[in-house]
Amino acid sequence: MEVKGTVEAVKRDRKGFKLDDGSPEGTWYNNGHKELPGDVQRGVEVQVEVKDGKWWQKVEVTGGNPKPPQGQSRGNGASAPAQDLPKHYFVAKGYANLRKEFPLKHDHPDIAIIRQNALTNANALVASQGLQDMDPQQVIAIAREFEAYTTGQMDSQIISDAFNPEE
């Protein structure tokens, strides 16, 4: 079967893509064995040979204007300037990626998730010890300890104290 349409998205591994083929939400086509040709990008029109309704066998670009992947410029295909990306992100293979950092800085995007997790676990600890009547500020203090350990801030403080002893 052959289908035609405009490529809406390409998977990171380049073995699948979403096609605007006239259906309300578009259709994903995959191939677990081979990557798409290099000229298949978001925004190009393609003709696709499909097997069993969802597996692409052959993809041919027939027209359209390729759209650069998020985080890249149209000019020469080079990465976007660093100021175009939020802090803690970098571009790799045309995609914005969150940097893995440790210890985490106070403005890292993962801090909110870590803080929520720390508070949940502080509540679980308090409940498991039968201390449901504990003052909320004490629960928050426990959560802050969990957060400091998880983000590496506790380690940073220990190291800082070890190398900068107060006299």
Tell me how far apart the alpha carbons of residues 108 and 19 are, in angstroms, rounded to a whole number.
35
Tell me how far apart the alpha carbons of residues 128 and 64 are, in angstroms, rounded to a whole number.
61
Per-residue pLDDT of the chain (167 residues; tens, 9 = 90+): 888 888 888 888 888 889 887 778 888 889 878 888 888 888 889 888 888 888 888 888 888 777 765 544 444 444 445 447 778 888 887 788 888 888 888 888 899 999 999 999 999 999 999 998 899 999 999 999 999 999 988 888 888 788 877 75
Which pLDDT belongs to residue 86? Answer: 78
Tell me how far apart the alpha carbons of residues 29 and 57 are, in angstroms, rounded to a whole number.
10
- pLDDT tens for residues 45-70? 988 888 888 888 888 888 877 776 55
Strand partners, 9: 18
| Rg over CA atoms, the chain | 25
CATH 2.40.50 fits 2-64, yes or no: yes
Which pLDDT belongs to residue 167? Answer: 55
Tell me how far apart the alpha carbons of residues 136 and 146 are, in angstroms, rounded to a whole number.
15
Which pLDDT belongs to residue 80? Answer: 46
Domain ranges of the chain: 2-64, 111-163
